[in-house]
Amino acid sequence: MRPWLATLLFVLSLPLAAQDFPLPDYHTALNDVESVGRRPHLLFRILDRETVNLYESICSNRAHLWTHQLKKRNVIAGKIFVFYTDRTGMARDEDWWYHVAPVVNSRGQLYVLDAGFPGIIDSALRPERWFRKIVNHRNCRELTTADADLIPHMFTMSRMPKQSLAGVSDCYYRITPAAYWTPRTVALNMLGRDETGTPVDFERTDFVPDELMSACLESVSRGLEPGPESRRRVCQRFLGIAP
- pLDDT tens column, 163-207: 888 888 989 999 999 999 999 999 999 999 999 999 999 999 999
Backbone angles phi, psi at 47, to 5 degrees: -60, 130
C-alpha to C-alpha distance for 21 and 83, rounded to whole angstroms: 22
Give the pLDDT of residue 136. 85
Q: Tell me the CB-side half-sphere exposure of residue 124, using CA atoms within 13 A.
A: 21
Q: Could you tell me if residue 109 is inside a domain?
A: yes
- Structural domain of 28: 17-239
Q: Could you tell me if residue 10 is inside a domain?
A: no
Question: Could you tell me the pLDDT band of residue 89, with boundaries at 50, 70 and 90?
Answer: low
225: left (phi over 0), alpha (psi -120 to 50) or beta: left
Percentage of the residues of the chain whose pLDDT score is greater than 90: 73
Question: Could you tell me the pLDDT band of residue 229, with boundaries at 50, 70 and 90?
Answer: confident
End-to-end CA distance of the chain: 63
Q: Could you tell me if residue 172 is inside a domain?
A: yes
Question: Could you tell me the pLDDT band of residue 93, with boundaries at 50, 70 and 90?
Answer: low
- What does pLDDT average to over the chain? 89
DSSP state of 142: E
Arithmetic mean of pLDDT, 28-37: 96
Arithmetic mean of pLDDT, 2-22: 58
Q: Could you tell me if residue 12 is inside a domain?
A: no
**What are the DSSP calls for 179-194, one per residue?**
T--SHHHHHHHHHSB-
Question: Could you tell me the pLDDT band of residue 90, with boundaries at 50, 70 and 90?
Answer: low
- pLDDT tens column, 130-159: 999 998 887 799 999 999 999 999 999 999
Q: Please check whether residue 123 is in contact with residue 102, taking contact to mean a CB–CB distance below 8 angstroms.
A: no
**Residue 13: enclosing H or E segment and its boundaries?**
helix 3-13
Q: Please check whether residue 47 is in contact with residue 66, taking contact to mean a CB–CB distance below 8 angstroms.
A: yes
Q: Could you tell me if residue 144 is inside a domain?
A: yes
Q: Could you tell me if residue 4 is inside a domain?
A: no
Give the pLDDT of residue 7. 44
Specify the number of domains making up the chain. Answer: 1
Give the pLDDT of residue 181. 98
Q: Could you tell me if residue 175 is inside a domain?
A: yes
Looking at 4-13, 15-24, 44-53, 140-149, which range is the least confident one? 4-13
Give the pLDDT of residue 2. 54
Give the CATH number for residue 21: 3.10.620
More confident call, 243 vs 23: 23
Is 37 exposed, middle or buried (CB count within 10 Å of its CB: 0-12, 13-18, 19+)?
A: exposed
Give the pLDDT of residue 13. 43
Q: Which residues make beta-bridge pairs with 52?
A: 220
C-alpha to C-alpha distance for 31 and 67, rounded to whole angstroms: 13
Residue type, 232: R
Give the pLDDT of residue 96. 87
Q: Could you tell me if residue 83 is inside a domain?
A: yes
β-pairing, 171-177 vs 141-142, is: parallel
Give the pLDDT of residue 88. 61
3-state percent breakdown (helix, strand, coil) of the chain, nearest 5: 35, 20, 45
C-alpha to C-alpha distance for 82 and 63, rounded to whole angstroms: 13
